[in-house]
Amino acid sequence: MSNDVLEIEKTAPETGANDALLVEMMQAGIHYGHKKSKTNPKMKPYIFGVRSDIELIDLNATLSALEKAVNFLKEVKAKGGLVLLVATQPAAREIILHLAEKFNYPYVVNRWLGGTLTNFKVIRKRTEYFQQLKKDKESGNLDKYTKKERLKISENIDKMKILFSGLETLTRLPDAVVVVDINLHDTAVREARRSKIPVVALVHTDADPTLIDYPIPANDNAKSSIDWILKRIESEIEKVETIVAVPVSDSAPLQNINN
């Protein structure tokens, strides 16, 4: 057993985390933070030590936070809720697209479009227009236009694809937002907070965990770390059966489970 595992176990032995699980998490690089000089003071409770000027995240704290986040997301799924997945960095793209397809969740992997949540009705209209253009192109309804006009419409569709692809299933405000890297996606976090939508997020040592309803202290740069956390979430929420169907509405998200 490594010395780091022994040290992590000492921080919170009551969690019951076994050696194999801690080693697995360490191999995924979940415990690696940033340099000490970059640490957000509010992350101090989640840090157990420093190695070569790199802050190390307390994996027991990660497991405890992950359990809370998973329980919340399981409740959302059980009630037929909608979860928006947000991660534009290449390291997270594959797993986010996988989760989106598996649970039919909306997602953002290219660029966060300002107003996605705070100006939802306008964004929804643009998304519906994008969907209609694609249908018209596929059905041949654009054949009535000239070649030059069709080319211009196709170029417009390509541009809109970057902005709206992934948002087609965002038919109403989501009941939760899952974010990887809150510093990179600070606008998404601000919009969720303003819209009173709970946020679950991987939070690195240079970020402020108090901005997040369900912060999960973890390395949000390494693909292995991101994959481990999100696959853990996937394996838990896929066990949940949806027991309440939520009517499709742009004004009726689930009641905030925190209240």
Per-residue pLDDT at 236: 94
Q: How many CB atoms lie within 10 A of CB 215?
A: 24
Cβ-based neighbours of 70, under 8 Å, separated by 6 or more: 232, 233, 236, 237
Q: 21 vs 223, which has greater pLDDT?
A: 223
Place of tokens 């979430």: 233
Q: pLDDT per residue over 159-214, tens digit each?
A: 888 889 999 999 999 999 999 999 999 999 999 999 999 999 999 999 999 999 99
CA distance 14 to 2: 20
| Tally of CA atoms within 13 A in the half-sphere of 54 that contains its CB | 12
Per-residue pLDDT at 225: 98
Evaluated on CA atoms 172, 178, 184, 187, the torsion sign reads positive
Q: pLDDT per residue over 59-108, tens digit each?
A: 999 999 999 999 999 999 999 999 999 999 999 999 999 999 999 999 99
Per-residue pLDDT at 252: 46
Q: pLDDT per residue over 201-257, tens digit each?
A: 999 999 999 999 999 999 999 999 999 999 999 999 999 976 544 444 444 455 444
Per-residue pLDDT at 4: 53
Question: What region, left, alpha or beta, does residue 112 occupy, with left being phi > 0 and alpha being psi -120 to 50 degrees?
Answer: beta
User: Does the structure show a pLDDT above 50 at 8?
Assistant: no
Per-residue pLDDT at 256: 45
Cβ-based neighbours of 211, under 8 Å, separated by 6 or more: 182, 189, 193, 199
Q: pLDDT per residue over 131-159, tens digit each?
A: 888 887 877 777 788 888 888 888 888 88
Q: Minimal CA–CA distance to 80: which of 143, 159, 174, 15?
A: 174
Q: Can you give the pTM of this predicted structure? A: 0.84
Cβ-based neighbours of 220, under 8 Å, separated by 6 or more: 180, 181, 202, 203, 204, 226
